[in-house]
Chains A and B, each alone.
Chain A
């Protein structure tokens, strides 16, 4: 139905959005399709670590070098998505000295700034570290908001003419005459912004070249094209704490293992992770032992975690890949490097390239290499500019502005809004209408919610990841309905109800993994507010209104009462 585009990117995670931006900036016509929200897959389900490369400085020096290089680039082009917290590799009394020395050497070889701290210095920096600290290595790790970063890439791609379709799963890869010529997608609620209750449609999108950037789902897209892409999905749990027990990234300095990192992220700290190979990237057990393991093991490093409040847990799947025949059995041993599978060379199927493996921190570099490859195929000579051009929100952005007066917002609401929005703050927050707070836990105002709705349609989970609303302590108990209200009257009550229910269910999904102590108390309060005070738990089915009390006046005055 539409003309053939130059490039069709399948997958709206960091890699896909990065590729779409890169190619669009080089002047190609680009369409990106994503089965769920942007970040629906792995990108939205990670701990948000901006690697310094220190983590790979012993096992995988090539990756470590890429990480520090990209770490520097992202600080420049995505300042509003990055918090340079710094990171520590902490050696406890029983951890081997030999590994500590290798880590330090590795960092130096890979050009990663690294400084050795004594136990006292480390605990001065992070007072909640255990007294068993022997020493630590400080590196430039950071925290990055993967949602904000991914959305900014997509927004910039659109600025450069790309088309982005979310909630558009690929139902078929079109192969004609031995060549991939496009895909068929199902628009779950029609093309364009997602609107609940809108009927679905299908569309064939034709392209000169298709890029399969679906991470853990790459095998499925490959299968539709008739080629084998053997990704090995590996699940990992992340446990979110309600406050930042640490302000720097804290890693355990010993050989790989489960539960060895704490990443401060906005108002929370995220504990990670496990590494367990799974069959299906969408359907795998989310088990209690994984949650318990995070708390038990990481409280050896930061003891107050054992008593602290957990607000939810979530799982992500890594799109691990190794060339056929390598035969690694332990998923933690599989390389984090990425692979570009040119299906023309590999499978004699021109028209499609798959990108598998890789790391979030180096998403831009991966996108650059793939874009170079695609441009080579399409005979385009434009240069990559993504390492120099700031992302929307990060152009000429200074948080030192007097945002409180400017936007009539109190601190910390004003400060947090401006940090989230970066250079878009003016555009979003300068409104003539009253701008009350909608989400108290995360200090999100109406203007920010409405801006997100403008970008995402009636999808409140997309609003959530853009703004952080409903992601704080109350997990939406006090704000799901306020967020839903902002959809109205642009969207009718039925559409709002569907979006609202979806958000309530999504919040519960993560919350139920933290169902003890404060978390259980909060869940019970939310259940009562939603179920009792608002009565959201069921649609009313009242057969006979006259059977109910209609008030004292009518009863005594005769009238409509049936005379009790």
Chain B
């Protein structure tokens, strides 16, 4: 049976999900195809909109700063209202998983590297720990979780925040191996039972007991982001109950439980909206007719299947997600061969200091006002292809702290426009 949809979204991260929701709400029939695990499990789970632009002072009011961005920035293509709407859509679909929607201002979140960073939406699990909220803080690390050293993070944070931060390292309860994965710790808290010295106790209670002796005057307690997988609300609530102060998670790198929880939330929303999601197979080619894409081919292992649609959205990610790829000869967009602006000389893709303003960080396709990728002459590559998220060029998500906001807003606009253009 032929596969035929109004809108086909390629890519299953934040931008792809946002595009699929935008198109579906516009009344289109939507299919989303995604290849490998998306990069959400690498991401901290914080939703950054715009944290820095042009100075080391973090931005408190991101929407006010957006009009000052350069013309080629994706936010300038979609406009500030679209960013607002995208965040509203996000707030709606993630529900109680996230906070921050009550204000347009950025919050400051502590990072597991012991810095603070501006962000717009934060997982509910991180809310009690905001650095822009007063409250003496105890950070707790685990001996075997080498990614988060609580005493070091506390010592680095303390001088830059207007409250006290202390850190302590304890042993995670139970007899887990030294190399137990973070997900294993989370599941031990979900299950809430363990045997210790022949006695059966609750994992959460045992953990709270170990923390209690270090609590002192702390008004909140932060842990690495391992506080439960399925049962994270309950785990946090019961630890908070035992300790008598709010408990929070410090967002972490991969594998990121907050990122995985967000992924689950988004896919539920896609399901409710009637989006058909297929994962595990790459898009490897396409057919075109008169400047329009008619179908893409999906490699299902044994054969390539054409997926027809009227409109297409490219949300395959940037260099990390391989939506943008490169060789020694140049940088390219591998699915449709869209043009990627770049210096011809490979040694001009980078600067010599790690945190310089790196040219490679801005690699991606250039688009017109309708988010259609442009060829070297500035004409749309295809009349019915739009791009969203990290596959777009012209911005540096790490430096600006803008990755999620760009993905959500360009995704929403690309999806909406696609549904509007259905012939």
Contact = CB atoms under 8 A, between A and B. Distances in A.
Interface of A: 288, 292, 295, 408, 410, 413, 433-438, 446, 478, 481-482, 484-485, 488-489, 492-493, 496-497, 504-505, 507-509, 512, 515-517, 520-521, 523-525, 527-545, 547-552, 554-556, 560, 564
Contacts of A539: 56, 115, 160
Nearest to B402: A532
B99 A410 contact: no
B354 A530 contact: yes
Contacts of A515: 346, 349-350, 360
The 6 closest A-B pairs by CB, nearest first: A534-B113, A531-B398, A485-B149, A548-B132, A493-B155, A524-B319
B402 to A, nearest CB: 9
B52 to A, nearest CB: 7
A410 B30 CA distance: 47
Given A482-B146, A549-B106, A540 B350 contact: no
A556 B102 contact: yes
Interface of B: 42-44, 48, 52, 56-58, 60, 99-100, 102-108, 111-118, 127-128, 130-134, 143-147, 149, 151-152, 155-156, 160-162, 171, 178-179, 251-254, 318-320, 322, 325-328, 345-347, 349-350, 352-355, 358, 360-361, 397-399, 401, 403
Nearest to B172: A434
Contacts of A560: 134
A535 B116 contact: yes
Contact of B107 (A434, A435, A535, A551): A551
Contacts of B144: 434, 436
A517 B332 CA distance: 10
A436 B322 contact: no
A520 B155 contact: no
8 contacts: A437-B178, A508-B353, A524-B319, A532-B48, A535-B111, A541-B56, A548-B106, A549-B106
A418 B321 CA distance: 36
Contact of A533 (B111, B127, B353): B111
A564 B61 CA distance: 12
Given A530-B355, A542-B57, A549-B106, 8 more contacts: A516-B346, A523-B319, A524-B318, A525-B319, A528-B398, A532-B401, A544-B60, A549-B130
Among A484, A507, A525, A560: residue with most chain B CB under 10 A? A525
Contact of B328 (A492, A516, A556): A516
Contacts of A438: 146
A552 B96 CA distance: 12
Contacts of B155: 488-489, 492-493
A288 B57 contact: no
A159 B352 CA distance: 40
A484 to B, nearest CB: 8
A548 B355 contact: no
Contact of A528 (B102, B347, B397): B397
A534 B349 CA distance: 24
A540 B318 contact: no
Contacts of A545: 108, 131-132, 161-162
Given A410-B179, A540-B115, A549-B130, A516 B327 contact: yes
